[in-house]
């Protein structure tokens, strides 16, 4: 889950990996601005690169392939500080993997 900066509440973070190397990722409250693109395994990392539907931002997510902890987010080529979206009391951001 991640912190919703608008409400300051923790919210689920959804990640759907498809067999054809396509993915969809979105916070629960932003189902209308999903990040969609392609994923690949790079060593121990799951690397997801795509664009948001609504705002058309290019983003790259690096995720631990075993634990689904979010390790980094880059928007275009700028790393986003994970501290801004990590829920209070949590030390990491986890994805909820869809079956």
Report pLDDT digits (tens) over 33-72: 899 999 999 999 999 999 999 889 999 999 999 999 999 9
What count of residues does the chain have? 99
Residue 56: count other Cβ atoms within 10 Å of its Cβ: 8
CA atoms 66, 81, 37, 9: torsion sign: positive
Contact (CB, 8 A) for 94 and 69? yes
Amino acid 46: pLDDT: 97
The tokens describing 30, both together, are 């932003």
């Amino acid at each position: 889950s991640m912190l919703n900066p608008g409400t300051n509440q923790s919210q689920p973070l959804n990640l759907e990996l498809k067999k054809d190397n396509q993915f969809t990722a979105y916070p629960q409250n932003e189902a209308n601005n999903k990040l969609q693109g392609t994923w690949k395994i790079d060593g121990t990392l799951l690397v997801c690169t795509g664009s948001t539907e609504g705002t058309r931002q290019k983003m790259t997510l690096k995720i631990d392939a075993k634990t689904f902890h979010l390790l980094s987010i880059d928007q275009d080529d700028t790393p986003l500080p994970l501290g801004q979206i990590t829920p209070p009391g949590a030390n990491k951001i986890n994805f909820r993997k869809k079956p």
